[in-house]
Structure 1
Amino acid sequence: MSIKANNSPFRLAACSEMIFQDIPFMERLEKIAGRGLEVEMWDWTNKDLDVIAGTGIPISSMTGYVSGNLTDKDEIPNLLESAKRSVEAAHVVGCTRLVIHGTGLGEGGIPVKPVQVVTGAMWAQAALTLNALSKIGRDGDVMFTLENLNLPVDHAGTPFNSPHDTLALVSAVDSPNVRMNLDLYHAQIGDGQLIETCRTSLPWIGEIQIADAPGRCEPGTGEINYRNVALALKDMGYTGVVAMEAFASGDSDQALDTFIETFSV
Structure 2
Amino acid sequence: MEYSANIEMQFTEAGPLPERMRAAAEAGFDAVEFWRWEDTDVPALAAAARELDVQIALFATDWSIAVADPAERARFTASVDGAIRAAGLLGARQIVVSLGPDLGLPRESLVDELSAALRVVAPRAHDAGVTLLLEPVNTRVDHPGSALSSTADAREILARVDHPALRLLFDVYHSAAQGEDVAQELRRSRDLIDYVQLADSPGRHEPGTGEIDWMQVATVVREIGYTGRIGLEFSPLADSATALAQARTVWEKAWAGSIR
User: What's the TM-score, normalizing by structure 2?
Assistant: 0.88
Matched with 1:16 is 7
Matched, 1:29 2:21: yes
Percent identity for Structure 1 against Structure 2: 28
The one-character-per-residue Cα deviations of 1:215-254 (angstroms, maximum 9, x if unpaired) are: 1100011110223312321232111122111010112111
Residue 223 of structure 2 aligns to which amino acid in structure 1?
D
Cα separation, 1, equivalents of 2:221 and 2:89: 32
For the pair 1:116 / 2:104, whether they are aligned, the reply is yes
Any stretches of 5+ residues in structure 2 without a counterpart?
256-260
Q: Please report the RMSD computed on the Cα atoms of aligned residues, expressed in angstroms.
A: 1.8
Query: Do the aligned partners of residues 53 and 102 (structure 1) sit closer, same or farther apart at CA in structure 2, a change above 3 Å counting?
Result: closer
Alignment correspondent of 1:137: 125
* Higher RCO (Cα < 8 Å, 6 or more apart): 1
Between the aligned partners of 1:65 and 1:83, the Cα distance in structure 2 is 9
Structure with bigger helix share is: 2
Residue 164 of structure 1 corresponds to 152
- Matches of 1:217 and 1:161, distance apart in 2: 20
**Separation (CA, whole Å) in 2 of partners of 1:118 and 1:102:** 15
Deviations 1:94-130 (A, max 9, x none): 1111112332xxxxxxx4xx53342433322211211
1:46 aligns with one of 39, 43, 53: 39
| Equivalent runs, 1:47-126 vs 2, <5 Å | 47-55=40-48, 56=50, 57-65=54-62, 68-103=65-100, 111=101, 115-126=103-114
8 Å CA contact 1:133, 1:178 repeated in 2: no
Distance 1:187 1:230 in 2: 15
Describe the shift of the 1:66–1:126 C-alpha distance in structure 2 as closer, same or farther (beyond 3 A): closer
TM-score between the two structures when normalised by the length of structure 1: 0.87
The answer to whether 1:198 aligns with 2:190 is: no
Amino acid at match of 2:245: D
Deviation at 1:164, TM superposition (A): 0.9
**Rounded Cα–Cα distance in structure 1 between residues aligned with 2:32 and 2:114:** 29
Flag structure 1 segments of 5+ consecutive residues without an equivalent: 1-7, 104-110
How far apart, in 1, do the equivalents of 2:71 and 2:96 lie? 21
Does the CA contact (< 8 Å) of 1:67 and 1:78 recur in 2? no
For the residue of structure 2 that corresponds to 1:160, the secondary structure is coil
User: In structure 1, what residue type is equivalent to 2:67?
Assistant: L
Offset of residue 143 of structure 1:
0.8
TM-superposed deviation, 1:40: 0.3
Corresponding residue pairs, total: 247
Mapped to 2, the partners of 1:73 and 1:29 lie a distance apart of 37
Q: Deviations over 1:141-175 (max 9, x none)?
A: 11111110111111111123111111111122222
- For the 8 Å contact 1:185–1:211, the answer to whether it is kept is yes
**2:62 and 2:98 in contact (8 A); partners too:** no
The whole-number CA distance in structure 1 between the counterparts of 2:122 and 2:250 is: 33
Report whether the alignment pairs 1:235 with 2:227: no
The CA distance in 2 between the partners of 1:164 and 1:122, in whole Å, is 13
Aligned to 1:5: none
CA contact (8 A) 2:110 2:147 kept: no
Task: Give 3-state SS (helix, strand or coil) of 1:22's partner.
Answer: helix
